[in-house]
Amino acid sequence: MATSASKLQYVASKRQMRGWKTAIIFVSPAIALFTLFIILPIIEAAGYSVFNWNGLGLPSPDRFVGTDNFERLARNKVFARAFNNNMLLIAASLFVQLPIALAMAALLAERRLGTITFRMIFFLPFILADIAAGLIWRFIFDGNNGLVSHASQAMGGDAIFLLADREYAFVAVLVAVVWKYFGFHMMLYIAGMQAIDKSLYEAASIDGANAWHRFRYVTLPGIMPTIRLSVFFSLLGALQLFDLVVPLTGGNPLNKTHTMVSFLYYFGIGRMKVGFGAATGVALFIICVVVAFSYKKWVMKDD
């Protein structure tokens, strides 16, 4: 009996070893790529952030400035404006984009005539490249030839140069962002709604619940994990927005429409101040990590 038990233990250990070897073989390429393209650039950016470096060659010891780049960043008024713009993006995503996506998902979740077509139409902007979307909205908001300006003039008003207005130019960015990404969140909500057990709706109908009560007491609790995931995507996406800003406003007028990433590009890389840009990247990385881990810990802890 002891011999048989030891043989079984030996066979089990051999299988476990083979499992570990297989796991290492398949995981190693992913770890290598993650290290090469994620970990090492983060470490390099952190190293470059303490130098006054223009990106040419390697930073020399006499260019070491310590925390000066971070101190300059904290005092920079354009970066403060960019940070505020990112907060506005978060607010627009949470209180405009996601409610619109949820409302459209509630209307299009059931398979009725035309729902598939409308889903496709609303999801198409998300498939469109961000640069192309920015160029489309730049044409729409153009004061000379844009559709908005022409519509205003057709109704007897003046030409509208929204992208040149210091107070309202960022509204154009918010409109483009809501249009671009609400279809993605709509499809998330539709998938969550379709996963809810249909018998729950039948039971609610038998109990006399109307459409609003079914949505409030059956649909919303059923898709809460999806909503939490959608909010998570919105937060990180709003903090990292870049591609739409470049073709739409380029951060103008007078640097009023920058986000933190576009600020990094124009004031760091664009001006050959790579050390300062690296400091901006490190600050943005810390903000994103804090937001992501805090959200995962306090909001998505049970998902």
Q: What are phi and psi of 115, to 5 degrees?
A: -65, -40
Could you read off the pLDDT of 46-96 as tens digits, one per residue?
999 999 999 888 888 889 999 999 999 999 999 999 999 999 999 999 999
Length of the chain: 303
- Over its C-alpha atoms, the chain yields an Rg (Å, rounded) of 26
Cβ atoms 287, 66 nearer than 8 A:
no
Cβ atoms 242, 269 nearer than 8 A:
no
Percent share of the chain, pLDDT over 70: 93
What is the Cα–Cα distance from 237 to 98, expressed in whole angstroms? 13
Give me the pLDDT at residue 133, please.
Answer: 94
Could you read off the pLDDT of 187-213 as tens digits, one per residue?
999 999 999 999 999 999 888 889 899
What is the Cα–Cα distance from 115 to 122, expressed in whole angstroms? 11
What is the Cα–Cα distance from 110 to 104, expressed in whole angstroms? 11
Query: Is residue 3 pLDDT above 90, yes or no?
Result: no
Could you read off the pLDDT of 6-35 as tens digits, one per residue?
655 655 566 666 767 777 888 888 889 989
Give me the pLDDT at residue 114, please.
Answer: 83
Could you read off the pLDDT of 86-104 as tens digits, one per residue?
999 999 999 999 999 999 9
Angle at alpha carbon of residue 16, lines to 12 and 20, rounded to 5°: 170
Q: What does the pLDDT average to over 38-44?
A: 90
Question: E strand or H helix at 34, and its extent?
Answer: helix 2-34
Neighbours of 182 (CB within 10 A): 25
Q: Is the pTM of this model over 0.75?
A: yes
